[in-house]
Structure 1
Amino acid sequence: MSTPQLIVTSGEEKKDTDPMNPGQLDKALPATRLLEKRRMVAQVQEALENQKIEFAQKEEILKKREETLRTKDLQLQESLIGFSKFLQENGVKKKRAEKKASDEIRLRLEKEAEISQLESQLVQLKHEKNATHADLERMMFYHKYLETVIETSEGFNEINDLLMRHATLQATNEDLKRHVESCSDSAEVVRTELQAYVKSSSNEILNLDNSISVSKQTLEKKKGETAATQLHMDSILHAAATKTLARSQVCMAAEYLFQRICKLSNISHFPYNNPLKQLDCVGDYISDLNHIIKAYKIKCIKKEHEAQRQREKEAQQQM
């Protein structure tokens, strides 16, 4: 086992330790080796303590430097904050100064515009004054004329009375004009309504005439249709009367024939009232009578044939 060489430096002092060689340590006694080991451990412990002290000193120095840097940083931050406040105050002051300057410029421009407007108003008022003065000089002639009229007139004592009378007459004239215009407008409205009414009445009369004409045509058509219907009804009634007469005649003939065969026939018949039944009986009777006549004729013919044959036999016998 080898033991490293430890060098401890504290400040400016240096201590050199020369441990025993391994060969010498192996040859030494156990007690010597134990002492040597303890001495080496003590040296290592001392070196560690010295390093701890040196580390603590360096740490203290670093803490002082860190504190110094922190203090300088705080001072720098405070100076930056102060400078920022200074800049902000300067910015606010600058804005205030700029606003004040712009307000003063705006106020100056407003005052200049107001001065220009007042100057133009002054010029306009001067023109109005000159025009009014000219009108006054022109109206003085009328004033003198009105004074002359008042002096010569008995109904007016002052110019104001004359002017008021003129204003009254002028207002009355305006009222009359408005009344005339209103009456003219009313008359125009009435005239327009009358024309519209006449036009609508004319249209209504034309429509009514057309309706009357159409109604007359419809009436004539209906009269023709009624006449045709009446003729048709008359023909139907005539045909019905003819058929009724024929039916009555047929019924009477059937009744007569039925009564006749009831008298002539040896067979008792049921007293029918229906002409068809009566005609059936008559038909049966005539049919039976025809059969009887045919049978009689056949019998007569047979008798004639027998008589002729008898005569022929007698003639043959005589020959």
Structure 2
Amino acid sequence: MHLVHEELERQKVECAQKEEILQKREDDLRDKDLKLQESLIGFSRFLQENAVKKKRAEKKSADEIKSRLEKEQEIIQLEEALLKLKLHRSATLANLDRLMMYQKYLESVVEKATQYHEINDLMIRHATLDASRQDLKEHLAMCTEHNDELRAEFQNYKKSTANEIMTLNNEVSMTKQFVEQKKLETSQLQLQIDQMLQMAAARTLARSQICMAAENLFFRIDQVSVISRPLQDNPIKNLDMVSDFVTDLNYIQKLYKGTYGRNPTPKGG
């Protein structure tokens, strides 16, 4: 029992030692973990700072590249401007050389001319003449435009007049056709009238002949008739009298031949 107790004590001591060792290891591990966390935090901060520095460096590099490109573009533009200025300078010098000839010419003109004392007077006169020329040019343009308008108006009037003349010619032609038609109708009507007049004349002649014949018959009958009758203006009545006489004469002849019986009664005298 004593041995068991000692063994238990020994095991307790060993357990306590082991616990102490484990506790120490745990403390060491905790310290290492804290140090590791601090190290990680520091490394993370270092990475963040490096990322910020990298972004700043990249931005600075991009800005420097952009600035370099802008400067290069500006240099190109300045070189082009310089080239243009050199060309302009060359052209200006050439123009100056050319104008110097005019300057010398104007000076010689001023020296020889009496009405111009300075080149400025000559230039003013030239400006006046040029302005007059410009005014005349504008006036010529206005006259030309007005002439074109008049020509166009004349062409339109000519065209409208031609159309009107064509219309009038058509109307005249139609009127001539109408007149010819009316002349033809008039000729036909005149022919009909002539025929009617001829027929009327023939009828009048026949009537006159009939009237004369009726009067002759009336006078001849009146000479042989025992009944005296006056001559009528109407030939029909005279012919009626002649008809009555002829009827009576026929009746008398038939009476004598015995056609109507023994005691016939005559119609007229």
1:179 is aligned, of 123, 130, 139, to 139
Aligned equivalents of 2:106, 2:188: Cα separation in 1? 102
Which structure's CA Rg is the greater one? Answer: 1
**2:107 equivalent in structure 1:** 151
Q: CA RMSD in A?
A: 2.8
**1:279 equivalent in structure 2:** 239
After TM superposition, the score normalised by the length of structure 2 is 0.55
Aligned equivalents of 1:238, 1:144: Cα separation in 2? 116
2:121 is aligned, of 161, 184, 190, to 161
The answer on whether the counterparts of 1:150 and 1:157 sit within 8 Å (CA) in structure 2 is: no
**1:267 equivalent in structure 2:** 227
Q: Structure 1: which 4+ aligned runs deviate by more than 6 Å?
A: 142-146, 299-302
The answer on whether the counterparts of 1:261 and 1:282 sit within 8 Å (CA) in structure 2 is: yes
Q: Secondary structure at the match of 2:258?
A: helix
Aligned equivalents of 1:297, 1:268: Cα separation in 2? 27
Aligned equivalents of 2:143, 2:185: Cα separation in 1? 60
**1:231 equivalent in structure 2:** 191
The answer on whether the counterparts of 1:146 and 1:159 sit within 8 Å (CA) in structure 2 is: no
Aligned equivalents of 2:121, 2:144: Cα separation in 1? 34
1:83-126, CA deviations, whole angstroms, 9 ceiling, x for partnerless residues? xxxxxxxxxxxxxxxxxxxxxxxxxxxxxxxxxxxxxxxxxxxx
Counterpart check, 1:253 vs 2:209: no
Shift of residue 273 of structure 1? 3.4
Aligned equivalents of 1:299, 1:192: Cα separation in 2? 111
Distance 1:249 1:236, change over 3 A: same
1:45-83, CA deviations, whole angstroms, 9 ceiling, x for partnerless residues? xxxxxxxxxxxxxxxxxxxxxxxxxxxxxxxxxxxxxxx
**1:73 equivalent in structure 2:** none
- Code of the residue aligned with 1:290 in structure 2: it is N
- Code of the residue aligned with 1:259 in structure 2: it is F
The answer on whether the counterparts of 2:255 and 2:261 sit within 8 Å (CA) in structure 1 is: no
The answer on whether the counterparts of 1:254 and 1:278 sit within 8 Å (CA) in structure 2 is: yes
Matches within 5 A, 1:2-81: none
The answer on whether the counterparts of 1:258 and 1:279 sit within 8 Å (CA) in structure 2 is: yes
Query: What residue ranges of structure 2 are gaps of 5+ in the alignment?
Result: 1-91, 263-269
Aligned equivalents of 2:158, 2:150: Cα separation in 1? 12
Aligned equivalents of 2:158, 2:233: Cα separation in 1? 79
1:15-74, CA deviations, whole angstroms, 9 ceiling, x for partnerless residues? xxxxxxxxxxxxxxxxxxxxxxxxxxxxxxxxxxxxxxxxxxxxxxxxxxxxxxxxxxxx
- Code of the residue aligned with 1:201 in structure 2: it is T
Aligned equivalents of 2:213, 2:238: Cα separation in 1? 10
Q: State the number of aligned residues.
A: 166
